[in-house]
A and B are shown apart, each in its own frame.
Chain A
Amino acid sequence: MTERDGDIAAFLDEFSPRRHEEQGDWDRVAADARSDRRPRRFLAPTRRRRAVLTLAIIGALTVLAVVPAFAVSEGWWFLGFDAPNPTGTIVAVINPQSADYWALVAYLTDHNGRSELCYSLTQSNESGSRVGGCGSGALGEPNLPDPGATIVTTSGVAFGPTTLDVATVEAELGDGSTVQAKIVTFPKALGAPLRFYIAEFPADAALTQIVGKNSEGQVIGTITVPAGTEMHQGS
């Protein structure tokens, strides 16, 4: 065993002194562990995060939280951040064309024994163009697109998971026009039979509805975006 260096030890003592008087609060630890009170703080927005986020989440079925975007590396920022640990394979679908760059990254995780889907969409390295989160409502729902798992950004993008029977997704805007969404099917390695849709629309347009149809054109899922949906702007 290498001896402890006396000089270094003296400095380190000064650097971070031992707080003998502090004994912690085990009762609070135990209480928080028993309850689900403590939020998943890795997702809690801080002032810095709020400053770079420009997005809104609609729906209430899923506990879907927002992940900030300052750990930037194209589509992989989501993994660089202190996101939940994957329980399976991390999958990514990337369109590398610079004019229309986007990257979807997804994986399954476990939260208190419940499987959750984490996913993010990156469209560029600019602030506000990278959003993502984790939620359990995205899994096992028969009538997707799942409103609780849909993320709508103020820069004019709505995206979220759908079941495999959703073949097309349309975003309906306030002026009556519709926008066809991209549909992305993830590799089976994800471990969940899901597709994702990405609908882009003018940032100043009002998104009113997202409609999922099967391969025969029948509507099998609809998300109605409530008027006046709160949009979380940077602070």
Chain B
Amino acid sequence: VVALESAYRDRYPDLLRVATAITGSAESGRDAVHDAFVDLIRARESYRRNGHLEAWAWAAVVNAARKQARRRGSLPLKEEALDRPSANGEKDGRHDAVRAAIARLPERQRLALFLRYYADLDYASIAETLGIAPGTVAAALHAAHETLRQTLQEVRKND
């Protein structure tokens, strides 16, 4: 429990950020982080000592956030989701286009992207969190980068 508390306190803003990105709302993100750590404490005896506790915690948060996203009954990252105004308070076409591109990414790519950028996890940790091979993480991130770069280029061309 001490290690879980330490992970929670040290990483809370990042945990919340990832959960918010997955669920599409900060409120659901907070719920997801809360639920995940409640479950982690309750299930701490099942923690495998040969695994990394942080990856175990990230996996719980990602799964709780995915559940929250399903519970919301909509795909995450919808227009109303992040209750985040654009920088100038007006609708931002570039923002919308990239947001839509993220929403269209396959889930694995999207999760890998969030864990890489928001949690700053390395490939091995992302792989352990998502239960996939590190090579798959690399491929997923590469594909996500390609898609988002293309979208950004198109948006700039249209500006």
Interface of A toward B, CB cutoff 8 Å: 1-2, 4-5, 7-9, 11-12, 14-20, 22-26, 28-30, 32-33, 38, 41-42, 46, 48, 70, 81-82, 112
Contacts and interface: CB of A to CB of B under 8 A. Distances in A.
A15 B82 contact: yes
Q: Is the interface of A mostly helix, strand, loop or mixed?
A: loop
Given A8-B152, A30-B1, A46-B71, 10 more contacts: A2-B138, A7-B152, A15-B84, A17-B84, A19-B17, A25-B34, A30-B5, A32-B38, A33-B42, A112-B42
Contacts of B114: 12, 16
A48 to B, nearest CB: 5
20 contacts: A1-B122, A15-B98, A15-B99, A16-B20, A16-B82, A16-B114, A16-B118, A18-B118, A20-B13, A23-B9, A24-B8, A24-B15, A24-B16, A24-B33, A29-B38, A30-B1, A30-B41, A33-B42, A38-B35, A42-B67
Contacts of B118: 12, 16, 18
Interface residues of B, number: 46
A2 B145 contact: yes
Contact of B17 (A16, A24, A42): A16
B145 A5 contact: yes
B149 interface: yes
Contacts, number: 106
A225 B33 CA distance: 41
A4 B117 contact: yes
A14 B152 CA distance: 14
Contacts of A32: 34, 38
B111 interface: no
B152 A15 contact: no
B148 A11 contact: yes
Given A2-B145, A12-B117, A41-B35, A18 B17 contact: yes
Contacts of B42: 33, 112
A102 B12 CA distance: 46
Nearest to B8: A26
Given A2-B145, A24-B8, A32-B38, A19 B152 contact: no
Contacts of B99: 15
